């Protein structure tokens, strides 16, 4: 990783709890305030489904609610999904830049109540803008979106249909930097989805990965520990 940057990693846990949010900045031109639910939750961030599409980089004061208890955390929006989900919500990736010991303890209790550790090979919903170029092809890269993401591959929504076996370079761009990987198309959806705005869904498997600045996968996905439980993942 360039510059010797070492990122701290922690596992993500699949869980659904209610969450409310607000922009804590008093000088914000628009008061963003609403609610939603978690898709997954960890000690460094979460994937949230919110009724409002926010902006990357926005600070958020979050309140997680479960069994009459509340956990309040400060966060920052890292990525915003698109298009909207069939449920009407929009996926957001958020990071927890600073947690006090009390907040970490409260978060640990919430995860122990409802969390189910996600395996390394499982996919999580992640609607990220991306560019895809078949290796050796001339012209502009295809612009599309990811549908889900794992450490081993992802699904891509593309305006053109690529044959199975095509070698491609995938670039996911976020406010924190680019994730670049060479990948192989392993399946293509025979139908064009109505909800995907005439885009064709492709499944790709990562073959060669290159990191620039902070890795997108480090922000969204986390490695699965071999034996440690939630109470051992505070750091």
Cβ neighbours around 188 below 10 Å, total: 16
Q: What domains are defined for the chain?
A: 2-119 (2.40.10.220), 124-219 (2.40.10.220)
Question: Phi and psi at residue 114, in whole multiples of 5°?
Answer: -125, -10
pLDDT one-digit tens code per residue, 170-224? 988 765 667 888 899 988 887 655 444 678 889 898 886 665 444 556 555 544 3
Please give the pLDDT value at position 26: 63
Please give the pLDDT value at position 225: 36
pLDDT one-digit tens code per residue, 49-80? 888 888 888 899 999 988 778 899 999 998 88
Give CA torsion, residues 182, 45, 146, 201, to 10 deg.
110
Please give the pLDDT value at position 224: 37
Please give the pLDDT value at position 226: 33
Closest-CA residue to 9 (of 234, 161, 211)? 234
Please give the pLDDT value at position 12: 75
Question: Phi and psi at residue 21, in whole multiples of 5°?
Answer: -145, 160
Cβ neighbours around 106 below 10 Å, total: 18
Distance CA 151, CA 15 (A): 19
pLDDT at 35 over 80: yes
**Structure-model confidence comparison of residues 181 and 30, the more confident one:** 181
* Beta pairing class for 167-174 and 129-134: antiparallel
Distance CA 146, CA 129 (A): 7
Against a cut of 0.75, is the pTM above it?
no
pLDDT one-digit tens code per residue, 83-127? 565 666 788 889 998 889 999 888 888 888 765 555 455 667 777
Closest-CA residue to 37 (of 21, 66, 16, 60)? 16
Alpha helices, DSSP H only, in 70-138?
101-114
């Amino acid at each position: 990783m360039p510059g010797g940057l070492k990122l701290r990693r922690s596992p993500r846990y699949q869980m659904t709890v209610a969450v409310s949010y607000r922009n804590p900045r008093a000088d914000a031109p628009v008061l963003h305030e609403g609610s939603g639910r978690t898709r997954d939750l960890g000690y460094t961030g979460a994937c949230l489904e919110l009724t409002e599409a926010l902006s990357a980089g926005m600070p958020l004061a979050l309140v997680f609610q479960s069994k009459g208890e509340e956990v309040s955390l400060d966060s920052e929006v890292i990525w915003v999904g698109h298009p909207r989900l069939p449920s009407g919500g929009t996926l957001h990736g958020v990071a927890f830049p600073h947690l006090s010991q009390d907040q970490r303890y409260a978060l640990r209790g919430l995860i122990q109540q409802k969390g189910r550790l996600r395996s390394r090979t499982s996919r999580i919903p992640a609607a990220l803008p991306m560019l895809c170029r078949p290796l050796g092809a001339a012209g502009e890269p295809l612009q599309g979106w990811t549908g889900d993401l794992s450490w081993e591959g992802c699904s891509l929504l593309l305006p053109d249909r690529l044959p199975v076996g095509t070698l491609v370079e995938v670039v996911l761009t976020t406010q924190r930097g680019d994730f670049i990987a060479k990948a192989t198309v392993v399946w293509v959806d025979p139908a064009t989805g109505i909800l995907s705005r005439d885009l064709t869904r492709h499944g790709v498997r990562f073959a060669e990965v290159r990191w620039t600045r902070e890795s997108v996968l480090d922000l969204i996905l986390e490695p699965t520990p071999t034996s440690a439980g939630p109470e051992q993942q505070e750091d």
